[in-house]
Amino acid sequence: MEFFSVTAAVYAADAAAKAAEISLLDVRLGIGIGGKSFAVLTGDVAAVEEAVQCGMAEGEKRGLAVTSTVIPHPRREIFSALL
């Protein structure tokens, strides 16, 4: 989930973590890059989809959502690159 502000990313990550049984892998806060921030989640595909939907809704309420993507069964190298 990607957002135009640090605050929107924090609120969205919180909403996502509360919405479904997922693991929050990372929240990158965009200090110094105009505030653009993103959150990375993992878990069962259905749970991640639900969490992303809830997280993006938080960002959309504030008009600060950019985009989101759910990748079912990503390769392990993706995790290494993100962390």
Please name each of the domains of the chain with its CATH number.
Answer: 2-82 (3.30.70.1710)
SS3 69: coil
pLDDT confidence of 32, banded at 50, 70, 90?
confident
Measured CA to CA, the distance from residue 33 to residue 51 in angstroms comes to 26
Write out pLDDT tens, residues 39-56: 999 999 999 999 999 999
Write out pLDDT tens, residues 66-77: 999 999 988 888
Residue 82 has pLDDT above 80, yes or no: no
| % pLDDT > 90, the chain | 73
User: Is this prediction's pTM over 0.85?
Assistant: yes
